[in-house]
Amino acid sequence: MAARKRRHPASSTNRSGGWASTKSISFSINEVLRYEDPHRIFHEEGANAALVKARAAGKIRYIGFTGHKDPHIHLYMLDVAAKHGFKFDTVQMPLNLFDAHYRSFSKLVVPSWSSKASVFSE
């Protein structure tokens, strides 16, 4: 979900349950690309507030985020989440042959995330 405001994920989760014929879904905040994105997402009117509310209502089972630009932004997102007392269920990132050679998610994010995660899978 690229939405940064509370109303977008809330409306998406309400629509998703209907077409998917399911009671709960996994939800991911897509494309965290900029250093200001975590602050928008964790603002009191940000997307995370709606996601937490939807999870409490049983509409969402897991909350995660993705990003494909810079591992430092991933680490920053995890730091901002921790400062807000929030722990993501999933963190998605590009891991491929070229990753080890430039802005490596596998060298920077995986060790940090896997040491904090209760479940880690590649």
Taking only the tens place, the pLDDT of each residue in 50-108 is: 999 999 998 888 899 998 889 999 999 999 999 999 999 888 888 888 888 888 999 99
As a whole number of angstroms, the distance between CA 22 and CA 121 comes to 25
Give mean pLDDT, residues 30-39.
92
pTM of the full structure: 0.76
Higher pLDDT, 9 or 37: 37
* Predicted pLDDT at 7: 55
Domain residue ranges in the chain:
7-116
Q: Is the pLDDT score of 19 beyond 80?
A: no
